[in-house]
Structures are given as C-alpha cells and as structure tokens.
C-alpha cells in the first residue's frame, strides 16, 4: 500500500515496541459494563476539570474509567493538569514543571464561568489513586512524567490492575514496556487508516491493547478489523456538540467504549437504550 505521512509516527512506535519484545496478551481492568464509559478529565459539569471533586462526581455517576493527565513539578512530584501550564485553570501563569509542589498547592483551580463551584487544589497522583481505589478505574493520559515513579505510585496504591496508559510519545512505549510489561497500553488510530488492510497493518505492527481516537476517524470496516483481532476501541465523543446524535453514531459503529465530557448523561442514555 502507499504509506501516508502519518505512518511515520507508526514506524517509530514499531521499532521501539519491537525492540522492547512485549508481544503478549494484557488483561484489561475489570468492568461491569459492555459499553465502557470514560469521563474525560472527570465529570466537570459541576466542578473544574481534573480536580478531586470532578473525579468524585465521576465515581457517583457510575462511570467505568476516569481520564486524568499526568505531569511533573519542579521538585519531581506527580500532579494532574491537562495543559503544560496553569494559565487556563488558575489566575497565575507558568509551566507546571517550573513550580515546586508546595507552591502549586497554594495556587487554586477555579472555573471562571462557574464561581459557585469554588476553589480547588491541584491534585497529586497519589491523592487521585487513593480516591479511585476500589471505586473506579483510571485512564492515565501520560503527558510528562517518569514511568518508574508513576508505576511505583500505582503499585504503592494497589492499583496496578486498575489502570490503562495512553501513550503520547514513542519513548514512553519503550519505557512502559520495560518497567511495567503487564500494563495495558493505548494509542490513537493513525488518521490514514481507513481500510481493513490498513487497520490490520497497524494491529500487526503494534503490540497494543486498546485503540483511541475520535469516533469520526473510524468506519465499519476498521472497527470490524479491530474487533476481529480482539482490540477494543475506546473512542472520543467529547466536543461542544456532544449529545445523543454523536452517541448514536458512535454506538452504530460498534465501538467498545466512549470517552465523554458528559458521562452522567451518557450513562443515562445507555440505560434508556437498554445497553447498560
């Protein structure tokens, strides 16, 4: 086939993952539901995103996974923030990695459009693991952190069987494969993949456990190919337009999981359809 430029990233992953020698079947965290619901940055419909309050909302919603974003402070502490800077979530400016933890903890997260939600502390990874243990699985968007340190904190919390890791950079694949070979790993679908043959090449190339990516990037052919290989697709449906039309379209494709900005409403929608 003609190799699309987007496959260059695939090639980098191929080399790294084959060197790691990780070909194996990795069990995914146990869930109660056939259609997986992932709360994008927690349920932030009534609390600021990526806060303990948003994660508690997610637990109360009954979601299967909460998606969190991992970063590192100046003094090598693991905290949760989507962006590399604190600009969009606080009244201060600067990169997470430029602040020691003690200083960050004094800077409060707020939602300008909803002051009634109050002020919140930037959570540490340890706090999130403690909150989620025994209540919900974690979808770890591995932004910028030490794999060894993150995995040790997961082990210390007794959460090693309740986490999946989304890979952002090729070197992360190698590091997770070496340090935690039993950790389920996920990547986004290369945008060039539109046919069964292209999907099969990706699945043959990667030793992956889950596929991510926007639901609009998939079609019946590629979903069927992944399903045949027993690779679940947990696709993104979050957007400004997210609602029943998008959920129905994603479900029609046969996707195994949906990542949502409205997990509570999505769960209610699935219950009404009799599929949760």
Q: Is the pLDDT of residue 148 over 80?
A: yes
**Predicted pLDDT of residue 15:** 40
Q: Is the pLDDT of residue 266 over 70?
A: yes
**Predicted pLDDT of residue 25:** 63
pLDDT digits (tens, 9 = 90+) for 186-195: 999 998 899 9
Mean pLDDT (the chain, rounded): 92
SS3 state of residue 39: strand
Q: Is the pLDDT of residue 6 over 70?
A: no
Q: Which residue has the higher pLDDT, 11 or 137?
A: 137
The mean pLDDT value for 165-175 works out to: 94
SS3 state of residue 55: helix
**Predicted pLDDT of residue 206:** 84
- DSSP labels, 170-229: HHHHHHHHHH-TTS-EEEEPPTT--SHHHHHHHHHH---SEEESBGGG--HHHHHHHHHT
Q: Which residues contact 209 (CB under 8 A, 6 or more apart)?
A: 26, 28, 164, 184, 185, 186, 231
Q: Is the pLDDT of residue 170 over 70?
A: yes
Q: Is the pLDDT of residue 10 over 70?
A: no
């Amino acid at each position: 086939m003609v190799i699309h430029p987007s496959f260059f990233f695939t090639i980098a992953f191929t080399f790294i993952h084959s060197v790691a020698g990780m070909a194996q079947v990795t069990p995914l965290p146990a869930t109660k539901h056939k259609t997986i619901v992932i709360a994008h940055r927690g349920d932030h419909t009534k609390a600021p995103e990526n806060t303990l309050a948003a994660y508690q909302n997610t637990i109360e919603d009954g979601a299967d996974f909460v998606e969190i974003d991992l970063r590192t402070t100046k003094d090598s502490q693991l905290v949760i923030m989507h962006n590399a800077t604190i600009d969009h979530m606080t009244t201060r400016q600067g990169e997470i990695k430029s602040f020691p933890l003690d200083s960050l903890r004094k800077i409060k997260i707020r939602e300008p459009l909803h002051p009634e939600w109050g002020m919140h502390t930037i959570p540490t990874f340890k706090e999130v693991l403690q909150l989620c243990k025994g209540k919900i699985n974690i979808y770890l968007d591995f932004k910028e952190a030490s794999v060894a340190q993150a995995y040790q904190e997961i082990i210390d919390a007794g959460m090693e069987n309740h986490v999946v890791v989304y890979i952002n950079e090729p070197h992360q694949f190698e590091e997770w494969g070496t340090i935690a070979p039993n950790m389920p790993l996920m990547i986004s679908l290369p945008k060039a993949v539109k046919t069964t043959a292209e999907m099969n090449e990706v699945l043959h190339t990667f030793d992956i456990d889950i596929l991510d990516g926007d639901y609009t990037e998939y079609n019946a052919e590629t979903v069927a190919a992944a399903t045949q290989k027993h690779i679940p697709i947990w696709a993104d449906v979050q957007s400004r337009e997210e609602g029943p039309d998008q959920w129905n379209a994603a479900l029609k494709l046969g996707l195994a999981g949906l990542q949502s900005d409205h997990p509570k409403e999505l769960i209610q929608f699935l219950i009404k359809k009799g599929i949760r």
